[in-house]
Every structure is written in structure tokens, then in C-alpha cells.
Amino acid sequence: MKYFSAAVIPGDGIGPEVMEVGMSLLQAIGDIHGGLSFEAESFPWNCRYYLQHGRMMPEDGLERLRPFDVILLGAIGAPGVPDHISVWELILPIRRSFQQYVNLRPIKLLRGLESPLRGKGHEHLDFVVVRENTEGEYSNMGGRLHVGTPYEMAMQNNVFTRYGTERIIRYAFELAQATGKTRLTAATKSNGINHSMPFWDEIVKEISLHYPNIQTSLIHIDALAAFFVSRPEAFDVVVASNLFGDILTDLGAAVVGGLGLAPSGNINPEKTYPSMFEPIHGSAPDIAGRGIANPIATIWSISMMLDHLGERELGRLVLDCIEEVLVEGKVRTPDIGGKATTQEMGKAILAQLYRRG
């Protein structure tokens, strides 16, 4: 019998609604696979916790998460709490302390769904973005000068270390190789950013020499964003810095059907620390409490979690079940053109899992 431990942070807004489905999925996986079981522990760290305690998580929060195999996060953020608190005091410390330096985001058009691009010759939309998750443009270094004068200025430093850049680029090549992909595209902007981006390009070229079977290209971020729309079939693995990856993946989510579907993994490939899986959407206060959030992004994130834990067949099965329910087309949440609730969408996928498992 294999046991995996999962720390679950349902969070705010629609986070707890979609995570309720996520928890039933963990249960269902244990039911259909006799040799595997999840022990999940839930942590109530969110914006309400912040308003009561003056912090997003207790002082020993990270230590308490540390022993788990994986972390599952719903969504964090609430109208009364600024993002620089909710994000900087919960999500970023987890990503950074646990060296989750890979943010993995599949951009894949699921069977049964419409893309704004479908029918325009882009039937095959299936690639993955590897976003650097610990440094780059989101460095927290910089400051303001001459505040309150006409000469006021703000500076923000980009930090690209050789260590951090090499490891993310190497991960992207390894992923391409392991998944039998032949093309790697690196986002750059070395025609405009003349210190960090040429450094990034150099490292891409250095590492590419070790992967002669993979066709490597460096494409400027502006052109690359356009290609995501005009010829998305040209990509297998795309590797990008923290900011560029952030922008590209929201764009990617839009071309494959929207935020309700888009999953992500914050991965520590060495498994020294727990990795964290989360839908890329936020707490969506506009629809929170109505029970209509799409749980597919969360279910797909759990499928990625299974891959990470080495349970690839199960991960594949969960994704297949999502697609089969979408192809059938009877149960859909409003964001993808239906009337179903979060619970109904979740139950339909779980029922498929029990049928198949």
C-alpha cells in the first residue's frame, strides 16, 4: 500500500468550492486504486485568517507544510486584502522556500471544447509552458527615489542568476526529452533588455548543445505572444522567465478555453521539498458563493500532481475522464457554455472515473 500525504489549502472565494471537488477526487482515487491512498490535512490559511490573526499563516506555517508529499491550493485573495499581502505572505514564501522553481502549465485544448482558435486550422493545440518561478523580474529588489517631487522615480531590478537560469532551462530540455518532444522554444527579449536577456540566451545556447536532437529556438516575447494565437501548433515546450511566463500562460489559458480549465504545478523537481498544485485562476469574487465555478482546473491540477508522484497512468486516467465528460457535453459549468454547478461538474467526472477505474 502506498500512502501519499497532501496538505490542502482551500483558500478564498471559489477556492474552497473547487477544492471540495478536489478532496472527493482524492477519495475516489483511493477507492478505485486499492494500492494507493491519500492522507489529506486541511489548513485554513486565507484572507479571513489574515483579518483575524494579522498574518496569512502562522509563524511555523512553512515548517508544518514541509513534511507533506504535496500541497494543493485552491485560490488566495479577497477584496479587502491587498494582493501584496495575500500573495507575498503565503504563495510566494511557499514557492520560494520549497524551491518550487518550475511553474509547469500545460496549454492543451481538451477534446470536446471549443477554442477561440478552433476551426482556423489549429486543431492540434497541445504544448507546455515552463515558467521560472523563483527569480527574474519578480525580485523584490529596487525602490523609489525623490518621492513627492517631480523627479520621483521607481526602479525594479531583474535578477537572473546562473544557477537559477541553468536549472530552469535544463528542466525544460529534460522535459522535452522525457516526453519525446522535439522542439524547445525559449522566450527572450535580448533586443530590448540588454543585460539579463543576452545572459539568458547564452545559457539556452550552452545547454542546447547537450540536446542535439531537440530543435531549439529563441523568440522575442512580443512575437512569441502573437504566435501563441497565429500558430500555436508550432510549439512543444516553451521556457520563459517569471514575468514572460506569467503573461504567456494567461494568454495560453485563453486560447484553450479560459481560466476555469487551466491547471498548474509549482514543482521542486528534486523532491527535496513538497511541490504545490493549483488552478491558475484566482478567487473570482464575482462568482464566489454561487456554486458555479468550474472545478476542471483543480481536477486537472490533481492529475498533474499524480504525474509528479510517479502515478502517470492514474494522472492520464483522470485527464481522460475530464475529456470524456466534455465530449459527452451534457454537464458543463456556465464558463464553458452550460448550466451545471461546480458539484454537478465534479460528480460527472468522478462518476466517469468510477466507471473507467
Q: Which residues bind ligand ATP (CB under 6 A)?
A: 14, 75, 77, 259-260, 281-287, 293-294, 297, 335
Total residues interacting with Mg ion, rule: CB under 5 A: 1
Angle separating helix axes 342-356 and 312-328, nearest 10 degrees = 120
Q: How far is the CB of 180 from ligand ATP (least distance, A)?
A: 31
Closest CA to 228 of 336, 304, 129: 129
Q: Which does 335 bind (CB under 5 to 8 A by kind): ligand ATP, Mg ion, none?
A: ligand ATP
Amino acid type, 153: M
Position of minimal CB gap to ligand ATP:
282
Binding window for Mg ion (CB under 5 A); candidates: 32-40, 52-60, 281-289, 337-345 = 281-289
Q: Which is nearer to ligand ATP, 17 or 236 (CB)?
A: 17
**Minimal distance, residue 277 CB to ligand ATP, in Å:** 15
For residue 60, the partner it binds in Mg ion, ligand ATP, none, with Cβ less than 5 to 8 A by kind, is none
Q: Does 282 bind Mg ion (CB under 5 A)?
A: yes
Instruction: Count the neighbouring beta carbons within 10 Å of the beta carbon of residue 193.
Output: 16
- Write out the three cell numbers for 6: 497532501
Is the dihedral angle over the CA atoms 283, 244, 104, 141 positive or is it negative? negative
Shortest distance in whole angstroms from residue 6 CB to Mg ion: 24
- Nearest distance, CB of residue 129 and ligand ATP, angstroms: 17
By beta-carbon proximity to ligand ATP, the closer residue of 249 and 294 is 294
Residue 25's alpha-carbon distances to 113, 130, 295, 324, in angstroms, are 22, 26, 11, 16
3-state SS class at 64? helix
Look-up of cell digits 484572507:
47
Select 61 or 279, whichever has its Cβ closest to ligand ATP. 279
- State the minimum distance, in angstroms, from the CB of residue 283 to ligand ATP: 4
Which does residue 293 bind out of ligand ATP, Mg ion, none, counting CB within 5 to 8 angstroms by kind? ligand ATP
Angle between helices 312-328 and 15-32 (to 10 degrees): 120
CA triplet 262, 224, 188: central angle to 5 degrees?
Answer: 105
Q: Which does 133 bind (CB under 5 to 8 A by kind): ligand ATP, Mg ion, none?
A: none
Q: Which of 218, 275, 278 is nearest to 249 (CA)?
A: 278
20 with 40: CB under 8 angstroms?
A: no
Q: Least distance in Å: CB of 282 to Mg ion?
A: 4
Residue 237 touches which member of ligand ATP, Mg ion, none, C-beta under 5-8 Å by kind: none
- Which residue in 252, 344, 355 sits closest to 296, CA to CA? 344
Cell 521542486, located at residue? 268
Pick what 284 binds: Mg ion, ligand ATP, none; C-beta below 5 to 8 Å, kind-dependent.
Answer: ligand ATP
Q: Segment near Mg ion (CB under 5 A), from 96-104, 282-290, 322-330, 334-342?
A: 282-290
Q: Kindly state the smallest distance separating residue 286's Cβ from ligand ATP, in Å.
A: 4
- Partners of 9 in beta bridges: 73
Q: Which of 350, 346, 353 lies closest to 291, judged by CA?
A: 346
Q: What is the contact surface with Mg ion in residues (CB under 5 A)?
A: 282
